[in-house]
């Protein structure tokens, strides 16, 4: 809606995990480097945890795009599966043609054969599980058993778990203590710090094609940090809405007024509890400018 108005090629604060917007800063760069180093060791499980909205899925996609060509990757975005469903999903990701009538043992045998084939070709296999906290206990145990597939010298499958902190609670359960022992590398994604958030906003604007001067005022950025708590998803939501508000008022600078409209319009963000801005404030502002533009077009016709 505001792309042309601000001179943008694409939306700078989209919530889709576009790796072109990956922010290689601080712990995000550290997390990616940790994953790349850990995968080169060829051992055990790797775990990345972080609160909702901290960028785990984007990090996962960036990892998949960064791995060398000799690495075969499998990606399961929704692991709320039965043990049999997990084997089916892994088989499909590895390009194995399967029949739904295959039993558990037959599926496991076919997966083992494909992993042996990749190893003979000098290729490693990495399985990335997103939202791993949603995996049932019995499926987590099935995943552990799957990684038992190995030769005398090498593991045939490496697993990276991306999850919310609830996964740690599951791993503390007695019945899957063996899986917890196999996690050789672990990283926790924290929210972005204040200085990093300013760079984050600038990075996304420049990636989206912005070439103008200051777009967010310093006071607006201060409010953005307080309200978002440094969580990337909230930063994106609030920045997008604040730009909408600025556009709706026909202004070129995002000010605290616009940011406060965005904050009031977002349930998980709160800055000033005493504000009572009407919920639809941003969309009212946008509709007003659109109505004005329509009127101008009618008059010029």
For helices 137-146 and 83-93, what crossing angle results, to 10°? 50
pLDDT tens digit at each of 301 positions of the chain: 789 999 999 999 999 999 999 999 888 999 999 999 999 887 779 999 999 999 999 999 999 999 999 999 999 998 899 999 999 999 999 999 887 778 888 999 999 999 999 999 999 999 999 999 999 999 999 999 888 877 656 789 999 999 999 999 999 999 899 999 999 999 999 999 999 999 999 999 999 999 999 999 999 999 999 999 999 999 999 999 999 999 999 999 999 999 999 999 998 887 654 444 444 555 555 554 554 454 444 445 5
Q: Which residues contact 169 (CB under 8 A, 6 or more apart)?
A: none
Q: What are the distances in angstroms from CA 106 to CA 22, 25, 79?
A: 40, 45, 21
The residue length of the chain stands at 301
Token pair of 11, please? 């939306």
Q: 0.85 exceeded by the pTM?
A: yes
Query: Which residues partner with 128 through β-bridges?
Result: 75, 160
218-251 CB burial, b ≥16 within 10 A, e <16: eebbbbbbbbbebbbbbbbbbbbbbbbbbbbbee
Interatomic CA distance for residues 237 and 269, integer angstroms: 10
Interatomic CA distance for residues 114 and 104, integer angstroms: 16
Interatomic CA distance for residues 94 and 124, integer angstroms: 12
Helices (H), 134-209: 137-146, 166-171, 177-181, 194-207
Interatomic CA distance for residues 32 and 63, integer angstroms: 7
CB atoms within 10 A of CB 177: 10
Interatomic CA distance for residues 37 and 18, integer angstroms: 23
pLDDT at 41: 84
pLDDT at 142: 92
pLDDT at 70: 92
- Is beta strand 45-50 parallel, antiparallel or unpaired with respect to 158-163? parallel
Determine contact, residues 131/75, Cβ cutoff 8 Å: no
Classified as helix, coil or strand, 43 is coil
pLDDT at 207: 97
Interatomic CA distance for residues 136 and 159, integer angstroms: 16
pLDDT at 271: 64
Interatomic CA distance for residues 165 and 170, integer angstroms: 9
Token pair of 290, please? 């659109």
Interatomic CA distance for residues 14 and 202, integer angstroms: 14
CATH numbers and ranges of domains, the chain: 26-189 (3.40.50.300), 193-300 (1.10.8)
Interatomic CA distance for residues 6 and 13, integer angstroms: 13
């Amino acid at each position: 809606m505001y792309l042309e108005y601000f001179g943008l090629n694409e939306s700078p604060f989209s919530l889709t995990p576009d790796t072109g917007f990956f922010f290689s800063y601080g712990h995000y760069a550290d997390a990616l480097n940790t994953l790349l180093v850990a995968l080169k060791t060829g051992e055990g499980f790797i775990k990345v945890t972080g609160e909702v909205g901290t960028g785990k899925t984007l990090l996962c996609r960036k990892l998949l795009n960064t791995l060398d060509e000799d690495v075969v990757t499998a990606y399961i975005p929704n692991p709320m599966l039965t043990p049999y469903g997990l084997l089916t999903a892994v088989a499909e990701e590895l390009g194995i043609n399967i029949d739904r009538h295959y039993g558990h043992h037959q599926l496991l045998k076919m997966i083992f054969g494909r992993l042996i084939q990749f190893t003979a070709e000098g290729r490693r296999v990495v399985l990335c599980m997103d939202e791993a906290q949603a995996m049932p206990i019995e499926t987590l145990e099935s995943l552990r058993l799957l990684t038992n597939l190995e030769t005398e010298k090498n593991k045939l499958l490496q697993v990276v778990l991306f999850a919310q902190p609830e996964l740690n609670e599951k791993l503390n359960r007695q019945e899957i203590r063996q899986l917890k022992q196999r996690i050789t590398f672990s990283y926790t994604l924290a929210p972005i710090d204040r200085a990093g958030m300013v760079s984050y906003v600038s990075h996304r604007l420049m990636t989206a094609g912005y070439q103008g001067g200051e777009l967010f005022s310093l006071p607006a950025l201060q409010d953005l940090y307080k309200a978002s708590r440094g969580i990337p998803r909230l930063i994106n939501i609030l920045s997008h809405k604040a730009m909408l508000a600025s556009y709706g008022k026909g202004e070129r600078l995002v000010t605290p007024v616009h940011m406060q409209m965005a904050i009031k319009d977002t349930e998980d963000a709160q800055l000033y509890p005493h504000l009572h801005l009407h919920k639809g404030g941003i969309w009212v502002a946008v509709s007003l400018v659109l109505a004005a533009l329509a009127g101008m077009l009618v008059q010029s016709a």
